Amino acid sequence: MSNRVFNFSAGPACLPESVLKQAQKDIYDIDGSGIGILEHSHRGKVFDRITHETEALCREVGNIPDDYSVFWMQGGATSQCYMVPANFLGEGQTADYFETGKWACDSIREVPLYGECHICGSSKATNFDRIPAKDDIKYSANPVYVQFTSNNTIVGTEWKGEPEGIPDGAFLVSDASSNIFSRPIDVRKYGLIYAGAQKNLGPSGITLLIARKDVLELSPRPLPEMVKYQNHAKAEGRFNTPNTFGVYLMGEVFKWILAEGGLKAMAERNAAKAKIVYDYLDSQDFYVPHAQKDSRSLMNITFRCPTPELDAQFTEQADRKGLSGLTGHRITKGMRASMYNAFPIEGAKALVEFMKAFAHEHAAAAKA
Ligand SMILES: Cc1ncc(COP(=O)(O)O)c(C=O)c1O
């Protein structure tokens, strides 16, 4: 009998059960080698197999062309905030950034260490409740690249596609940490995609990078060897000792995505789950959603009760009913329901049932 609960955590987040069960076995003994995955050398035959398989599976899942490198690094997605401008932006050159939430701001903060930062679109004035409208986007004249955060994990907003009209000659960089492989993606539109694994791909402590090979040749300044993308790409993500377990687990998650029907199937599942919660939010007036309707994320749904006291009661009572991890980020407060690829549809239904009951119980008192 399983004692697992519905885990709405924003990351590290719930993983497919079949993957966890396989990992339980492989931690003890993988490939009949008599050695568990955590104990294998990153230069040995078993890990060679895992590295190559994880890369091949990633290419299959994302339909990634040969002129793109696929590799991984440590340091979390946060390290990419400085890695991107350090590797791509020369002194006096400009990069354009969309300012759509905390993770975008963390990236923007690092840019002046290397070059000029131009904010080409922002939702700061409205507490990051939306993705900038097309008419509000103003690119600089000649940016090296344009960076956006494809899903804003904390505030619960998501780009429906790529920003349009980026200037000729510039390439697109995406922090896709919280919606990578949640829907089909046309990798050819990007110079670089990076994603911390702990939402849709695997454990924390490993970041997936998908980079166009010519972009990786940019070398605007001398850098420490560990900071150069080329080194990590050429060494298949093994420039130093990688998070071997993370590479293994991403491979298992990719197998699961393919077995479930690939990114199209993921997109359908994710839309169906989010619809259950958004339809309910739109049908009532007790809870207040944070994101504007046309900017809503399918991954992270943010809302509040009428008072902070009720927010606290909501998350505490939900937790007791097996709905875990609903406390909102300290920036937005309120609640956040994160429902990445592996999150089951039954959890979305259970959340709405709980929301209805809680609203019924507290609506009268909240109005008084
Ligand atoms: C969109 C986004 N970017 C970056 C990060 C930072 O990731 P890490 O903690 O792995 O550095 C997060 C973490 O949740 C995120 O959601």
Catalytic residues: 103, 175, 199
Helix (DSSP H) and strand (DSSP E) numbers for the chain: 10, 14
Mean pLDDT in residue range 23-36 = 98
pLDDT for res 365: 77
Give Cα 96 to chain centroid, integer Å: 21
Cβ neighbors of 227 (< 8 A, separation 6 or more) are: 83, 86, 87
pLDDT for res 30: 98
Residue 262 alpha carbon to ligand 1 centre in Å: 24
pLDDT for res 364: 81
Residue 256 alpha carbon to ligand 1 centre in Å: 23
Q: How many domains are there within the chain?
A: 2
What confidence tier does 53 reach under pLDDT thresholds 50, 70, 90?
Answer: very high
Mean pLDDT in residue range 295-302 = 98
Q: Do residues 164 and 310 both lie within one domain?
A: no
pTM of the model: 0.97
Q: Do residues 247 and 274 both lie within one domain?
A: no
Q: What average pLDDT is seen over the chain? A: 97
Can you tell me which atom of ligand 1 is nearest the CA of 196? 10
User: Is residue 14, in this structure, part of any structural domain at all?
Assistant: no
User: Domain residues for 354?
Assistant: 262-367
Mean pLDDT in residue range 280-303 = 98
pLDDT for res 200: 98
Question: Strand locations in 132-280, DSSP E?
Answer: 145-149, 151-152, 157-158, 171-175, 192-196, 207-212
Residues with CB under 6 A from ligand 1: 11, 76-78, 103, 149, 153, 175, 177-178, 196, 204
Instruction: Please tell me the residue having the least CA distance from ligand 1 atom 5.
Output: 77
pLDDT tens digits for range 328-340? 998 889 999 999 9
Question: Which of 193, 225, 259 delimits the end of a domain?
Answer: 259
pLDDT at 298 > cutoff 60: yes
Q: Which residue has the tokens 């875990």?
A: 324
Question: Which of 259, 275, 308 delimits the end of a domain?
Answer: 259
What confidence tier does 367 reach under pLDDT thresholds 50, 70, 90?
Answer: confident
pLDDT at 237 > cutoff 50: yes
pLDDT for res 330: 87
pLDDT for res 2: 75
Share of residues in the chain with pLDDT > 70 (%): 100
pLDDT for res 198: 98
Mean pLDDT in residue range 4-15 = 97
pLDDT at 35 > cutoff 60: yes
pLDDT for res 366: 73
Tokens of 124: 């700061």
Domain CATH for 298:
3.90.1150.10
Q: Do residues 99 and 208 both lie within one domain?
A: yes
Q: What is the phi/psi pair of residue 6, to 5°?
A: -80, 120
Q: Do residues 121 and 245 both lie within one domain?
A: yes
Can you tell me which atom of ligand 1 is nearest the CA of 106? 4
What confidence tier does 3 reach under pLDDT thresholds 50, 70, 90?
Answer: confident
- How far apart CA 291 and CA 278 sit, in angstroms, is 11
Question: Which of 259, 289, 307 delimits the end of a domain?
Answer: 259
Question: H helices within 29-158, ranges in order?
Answer: 45-62, 76-88, 102-110
User: Is residue 19, in this structure, part of any structural domain at all?
Assistant: no
Can you tell me which atom of ligand 1 is nearest the CA of 154? 16
pLDDT for res 1: 46
- 10 Å Cβ neighbour count for 317? 14
pLDDT tens digits for range 250-283? 999 999 999 999 999 999 999 999 999 999 999 9
pLDDT for res 174: 98
Cβ neighbors of 104 (< 8 A, separation 6 or more) are: 97, 98, 147, 148, 149, 152, 175
Q: Do residues 274 and 247 both lie within one domain?
A: no
